């Protein structure tokens, strides 16, 4: 019995049919599984900006105005001085 290697293909629905985003030769009667992904609510840039803002606020809480200044040599390897 011939077995086919599993492959993941990107595709989209054009309103009438499922279209592969890249050419791929399918065998006749090939078994397929279709997973419908939720539509992204925000773009990658918006998500990146949200993570950056969260990081900035977290660092501001960790290193508040009353935090002492640290020497520039702290956190460096001894061989880097």
> Per-residue pLDDT tens for 15-62?
999 999 999 999 899 889 998 887 777 788 888 888 899 888 888 877
On the CB side of 72, CA atoms within 13 Å amount to 2
pLDDT value at residue 15: 94
Q: What is the mean pLDDT of residues 62-72?
A: 70
Task: Evaluate whether 60 touches 37 at the Cβ level (below 8 Å).
Answer: no
- Give yes or no for residue 71 having a pLDDT over 70: no
The pLDDT value given to residue 73: 63
Instruction: Judge contact between 20 and 34, C-beta under 8 A.
Output: no
The reported pTM is: 0.43
φ/ψ (deg, to 5) at 33: -120, 130
């Amino acid at each position: 019995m011939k077995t086919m290697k599993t492959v993941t293909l990107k595709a989209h629905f054009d309103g009438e049919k499922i279209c592969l985003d890249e050419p791929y030769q399918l065998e006749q009667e090939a078994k397929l599984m279709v997973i419908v992904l939720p539509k992204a609510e925000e773009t990658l840039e918006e998500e990146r900006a949200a993570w950056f803002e969260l990081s900035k606020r977290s660092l501001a809480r960790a290193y508040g105005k009353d935090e002492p200044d640290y020497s520039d040599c702290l956190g460096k390897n001894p061989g880097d001085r």
